[in-house]
């Protein structure tokens, strides 16, 4: 009997018809039964007469499989397998627990993310460099899109496309917004390109080997191919196909869209269509992976109102708040308001480009990231350094490749520090009162507290949010230079703490017995 490790992928491969359009003419599902528990999943056509069914078992023991199809050679096929215990390093998928994240086996997880939209679609040498760069970081989540991106600094056509056909818009190397409105579309949305999706899922598997979650963006507005204009029938067929292929990968998250409300403004997917899309994803995914949606953020329109254009994250099938904002001070408030974890998936980028979202210094990027983490959220790094205008050199935010910035090194340091000190998740501190100069977060048992001051330099700080009667030993951390020294004084919440005046310092407090 075949054995499949818990939370790993079972796959059944069958031979079937190649005539007609197998993507639309053939229905294939399979029922997985474990005792009285049954799960039905869609299969998919993988080209050249090959059909597959995939499943991620989450319960140990014997599973029975039976297929169902409108095609006789695919119908009534059976199989059995034994789901064995997870081995070391396999913690299962990330799930939500009240207002924080964690792995399915109970291991702690805090999203330390980054963004490389198109890395999975780039030539092999760029993908290999991306993976080599990721190995030098502590990022445990990456935002990545299924479809290619048409925007400034993204004018090179991909090596292949997700559907049969050819683009009708040919760029001259310089991005133009009017390209987002193609007069004709040259792709057949009823015929997928299995090679494209096999390559994408291979990238997801490579991330899993590195312990990195793949936050898969299903739709995006930056499109001159027509993939954002397929219509609801084709959208749902695409969702069923990509979910059938990817839902068995334990490290998958679903993001319905990048900047969903911008898609409405450029006449792609309308605001009132997202509920149907979201519920389709939830219905089709037998593994119930994390699911959220990402908003556009135009500061002149949205900064003061903070969340006027957000999706309704209170919907029961939305698992967490996944937003674009630099107002990270409000993360604890949003956690409380929605009763769900918050991941700030875009907070501007470290870089040197001519857009306000991509010209932060490394210190500014680090500041937002750290404040978000210590206020209880997940945070997402981004980097957009160019060597010249209209460069064709890979840029991390879009293509992956090489990291040129400074913030990721300190993010590595923060992740290692929090792991070493047992921060499975963060309980935000200093969430009331005039404490906007700092960000503070505690370990779940409240015995360790990290306090971050950023570019503020108080010499006398009253840490009145600390529990009354508690005393703490401390280490003083020069965050930018990544050095630590023992802090000479005992720290309490009922008197001033005297600090050296210096930028980017942290205190790591340890409760004294």
Residue 151 is classified by DSSP as B
**Neighbouring residues of 275: CB distance < 8 A, sequence distance ≥ 6:** 315
Are 251 and 230 in contact by the 8 Å Cβ rule? The answer is: no
Element (H, E) at 209: helix 194-209
CA atoms within 13 A on the CB side of 444: 14
Q: Please state, in angstroms and rounded to a whole number, the distance separating the CA atoms of residues 513 and 497.
A: 20
DSSP strand pairing (28-34 vs 10-15): unpaired
Torsion of CA 384, 388, 393, 394, to 10 degrees: 10
Q: Name the one residue in this structure whose structure tokens are 């899309």.
A: 277
Q: Please state, in angstroms and rounded to a whole number, the distance separating the CA atoms of residues 50 and 12.
A: 10
Residues with pLDDT less than 50, the chain: none
**Neighbouring residues of 285: CB distance < 8 A, sequence distance ≥ 6:** 243, 247, 254, 291
**Neighbouring residues of 118: CB distance < 8 A, sequence distance ≥ 6:** 144, 145, 148, 149, 154, 158, 398, 399, 400
Q: Please state, in angstroms and rounded to a whole number, the distance separating the CA atoms of residues 27 and 282.
A: 20
DSSP strand pairing (496-498 vs 460-462): antiparallel
Three-state DSSP state, 426: coil
DSSP strand pairing (252-257 vs 291-292): parallel
Q: Name the one residue in this structure whose structure tokens are 């160019």.
A: 386
CA-nearest of 456, 366, 468, 346 to 407 is 366
> Max Cα separation, the chain?
79
pTM, two decimal places:
0.97
Per-residue model confidence (pLDDT) at position 332: 97
Q: Please state, in angstroms and rounded to a whole number, the distance separating the CA atoms of residues 171 and 189.
A: 22
Work out the number of other CB atoms within 10 angstroms of the CB of residue 116.
26
Residue 491 is classified by DSSP as B
DSSP strand pairing (100-103 vs 94-97): antiparallel
Are 195 and 121 in contact by the 8 Å Cβ rule? The answer is: no
Q: Please state, in angstroms and rounded to a whole number, the distance separating the CA atoms of residues 73 and 79.
A: 15
Work out the number of other CB atoms within 10 angstroms of the CB of residue 13.
11
DSSP strand pairing (427-429 vs 439-442): antiparallel
Angle at 5 between CA 288 and CA 423, to 5 degrees: 65
Are 320 and 97 in contact by the 8 Å Cβ rule? The answer is: no
Per-residue model confidence (pLDDT) at position 173: 78
First to last CA, the chain: 54
Per-residue model confidence (pLDDT) at position 138: 98
Are 465 and 505 in contact by the 8 Å Cβ rule? The answer is: no
């Amino acid at each position: 009997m075949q054995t499949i490790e818990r939370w790993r992928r079972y796959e059944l491969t069958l031979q079937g018809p190649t005539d007609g359009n197998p993507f639309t003419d053939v229905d294939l599902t399979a029922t997985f039964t474990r005792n009285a528990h049954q799960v039905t999943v869609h299969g998919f056509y993988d080209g050249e007469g090959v059909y597959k069914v995939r499943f991620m078992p989450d319960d140990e023991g014997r599973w029975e499989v039976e297929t169902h199809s409108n095609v006789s050679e695919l119908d009534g096929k059976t199989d059995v397998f034994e789901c064995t215990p997870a081995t070391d390093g396999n913690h299962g998928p990330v799930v939500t627990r009240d207002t924080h994240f964690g792995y399915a086996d109970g291991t702690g997880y805090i999203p330390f993310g980054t963004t490389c939209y198109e890395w999975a679609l780039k030539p092999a040498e760029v993908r290999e460099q991306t993976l080599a760069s990721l190995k030098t970081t502590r990022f445990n989540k990456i935002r990545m899109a299924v479809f290619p991106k048409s925007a400034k600094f993204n004018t090179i056509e991909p090596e292949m496309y997700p559907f049969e056909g050819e683009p009708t818009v040919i760029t001259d190397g310089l991005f133009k917004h009017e390209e987002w409105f193609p007069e004709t579309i040259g792709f057949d949305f009823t015929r997928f390109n299995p090679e494209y999706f096999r390559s994408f899922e291979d990238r997801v598997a490579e991330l899993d080997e590195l312990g990195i979650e793949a936050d898969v963006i299903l739709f995006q507005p930056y499109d001159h191919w027509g993939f954002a204009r397929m219509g609801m029938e084709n959208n749902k067929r695409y969702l069923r196909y990509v979910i059938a292929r990817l839902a068995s990968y334990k490290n998958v998250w679903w993001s319905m869209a990048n900047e969903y409300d911008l898609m409405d403004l450029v006449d792609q997917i309308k605001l009132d269509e997202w509920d149907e899309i979201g519920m389709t994803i939830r219905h089709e995914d037998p593994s119930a992976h994390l699911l959220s949606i990402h908003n556009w953020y135009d500061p002149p329109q949205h900064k003061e109102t903070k969340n006027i254009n957000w999706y309704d994250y209170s919907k029961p099938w939305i698992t967490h708040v996944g937003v674009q904002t630099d107002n990270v001070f409000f993360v604890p408030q949003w956690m409380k308001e929605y009763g769900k974890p918050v991941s700030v998936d875009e907070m501007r980028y470290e870089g040197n480009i001519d857009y306000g979202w991509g010209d932060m210094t490394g210190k500014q990027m680090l500041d937002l990231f750290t404040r978000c983490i210590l206020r209880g959220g997940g945070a997402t790094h981004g980097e957009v350094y160019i060597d010249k205008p209209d460069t064709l050199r890979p840029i991390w935010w879009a293509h992956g490749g090489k990291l040129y910035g400074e913030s990721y090194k300190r993010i590595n340091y923060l992740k290692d520090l929090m792991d070493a000190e047992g921060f499975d998740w963060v309980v935000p501190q200093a969430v009331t009162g005039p404490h906007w100069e700092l960000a503070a977060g505690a370990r779940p048992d409240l015995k360790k507290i990290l306090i971050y001051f950023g570019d503020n330099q108080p010499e006398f700080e009253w840490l009145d949010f600390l529990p009354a009667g508690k005393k703490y030993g401390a280490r003083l951390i020069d965050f930018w230079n990544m050095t630590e020294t023992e802090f000479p004084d005992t720290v309490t919440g009922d008197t001033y703490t005297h600090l050296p005046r210096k930028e980017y310092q942290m205190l790591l407090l340890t409760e004294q017995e």
